[in-house]
A and B are shown apart, each in its own frame.
Chain A
Amino acid sequence: MLLLIKFESVSKVYEDTNTKALNNFSVEIETGEFVFIVGSSGAGKSTLLKLMMREEVPTSGTININGFDLNNIKKSKIPYFRRTLGIVFQDFRLIQTMNVYDNVAYAMRVIGSRENAIRKRVPYLLGLVGLNSKARSKPNQLSGGEQQRVALARALANNANTIIADEPTGNVDPKMSYEIVDLLNHINADGTTVIMVTHDLHLVKTFNHRVITIKNGVIESDYPDASHIDVEPYKFDNPEDAVGSYFVEESGDDLDYLFQNYAIDVVDDIESEDAEVSSTQSSEEADAE
């Protein structure tokens, strides 16, 4: 497995409040892993995500993500680094004036994707999250779970190799939480690395992936699975109906088949477009400076 994320002795002190959010924090995450990050409020989870998104820089230590040295990355390169990540927020952050289709397409449009690539990719993503029939709906016409699925589709829009989910189930009920994490699980099975911050230990127990517990800015524990967590996993009366049924219904196809076949065509489109984008990148970088 390739090393994807590496935090080495990272400390972060907010000078204005003199708060030490992370203290000598070191972690390595490999490509294709699914990692739960748990911890109480104020443990340092948000700071960790901010450092990952290069919203903050560490006070000391080094961070390397997707081959980008975040300590020394040029300001103009930050947008290109962020394109390798997809982020999902607890509060969905959908644009209320845009419909579902445009919310997902927005992520592609703002990085300069062509309309024909968008027309192929967005229906595929909406099929993946089971929302093709809601493409023309506005976010306020959707349930919390549906909104989070739109946000997930948007995070996947630019073919990011890592999904960072910041408490994605915080605003939805347990059943919908299950569905969302199950979807992340499928995405992870396809090779995408998933890092999910959560408070919901039942979910962590249910999906049984690597669990990193943060306390007072340091790693309290790092287990390869959730066997040490002493809570009951989620159980639904009919989990087969609850989990993943929506996308199979809509696409009329098996999800794995979708990942393995249709996705490849779209990825090819995106990659050929990326090559085109890189030729214009240097001029955009100059502007971004």
Chain B
Amino acid sequence: MKGASLGYLTREGFRNIWVNRLLTLATVFVLVSCLVIVGSGTLIYLNITTALDLIGAQNVIMVFIEDGSSQEQMDALKTQLLALDNVANVEFVAKEDAFERQKAEYGEKAALLDGLSADILPDAYKVTVKDLTAFDATASDIKGLEYVLQIRENSELAGKIASIRNAVSYVCIGIVAVLFFVSLFIVSNTIRITIFNRRLEISIMKAVGATNTFIRWPFIVEGVLLGVFSAVIALGLQYALYSVACIWLSDIMATIGGTVVAFADYIVFVFAIFMFIGVFIGSFGSVISLNKYLKEHNNVVEND
């Protein structure tokens, strides 16, 4: 295709958007709705995973150190712990600190500990794991290390958190995939109405000898532009909706000691998703509809 033609057809794409503004609005409305649902799903997913990360981070392995271990031996254990692949963090908990915390937890019954000293407890390392699905294997590895008296862990909770995370991921991916195809279907049908509305132009183009590429191009340009417009509008709308949603989401997150995911942190990610889906659905929807139309309507002499 020559540059002049490309320029003309691109201008035609812009012109068609304005000329067929009512159908343009309908297409943008459908596309924006789908994008906002996809965006909401993505943000809910991000908040759920953040919450799960928070809960997961609280699910630690307490590694009690053998009594009488020297400082060098304790340092060696820490080094070995940090060397494990699935260990994210190792924090030393002195027996004195642990004893004081225990007393605080006992509250009014702390008097029961009177007469006892911190020496009844061993020193410990609080180990945070990276991947909760490998929690059991990591706990087993730690058990096998030198200077380890015993460990305390809650593998059942870790397993549950891992399962929830997986389930949330699959459900979110499934919802986004279904919405993607639903959007493609709706948008291609909306564009089909646009094409049907412009059947006279298409029939004239065919009568004067335009190739199918020439006929398709303005519709593809239009589809891409609608995708871009929709992505921008959806981003603004998503921001507004998320700001409102944050009011009650922040209460939920506060109960587990976390905060909601900030929209600003993911604005580029969300916009990239919107642009990709919007442009892809807009252009591909146009091509699907137009190919179908060109196949079904071969008329030149008779007006549809």
Contact = CB atoms under 8 A, between A and B. Distances in A.
A79 interface: yes
A154 B209 CA distance: 12
Contacts of B205: 110
B301 interface: yes
Given A46-B301, A93-B203, A95-B201, A284 B211 contact: yes
A237 interface: no
Contact of A166 (B8, B204, B298, B301): B301
Q: Is the interface of B mostly helix, strand, loop or mixed?
A: helix
B134 to A, nearest CB: 52
Contacts of B8: 109, 115
Given A82-B206, A97-B19, A280-B2, A287 B212 contact: yes
Interface string B224-253: 000000000000000000000000000000
Interface residues of B, number: 27
A285 B209 CA distance: 12
A115 B5 CA distance: 9
A82 B4 contact: no
Interface residues of A, number: 38
B211 A106 contact: no
A157 B208 contact: yes
Nearest to A50: B301
Contacts of A114: 4
B135 to A, nearest CB: 56
A288 interface: yes
Pairs A-B, 6 closest by C-beta atoms: A83-B209, A287-B213, A82-B209, A110-B210, A112-B5, A288-B211
9 contacts: A46-B301, A49-B301, A79-B210, A93-B204, A93-B207, A109-B8, A280-B1, A284-B214, A287-B211
Given A106-B208, A154-B208, 12 more contacts: A53-B300, A76-B211, A83-B208, A87-B300, A93-B200, A95-B201, A106-B204, A107-B204, A107-B208, A112-B2, A112-B4, A284-B1
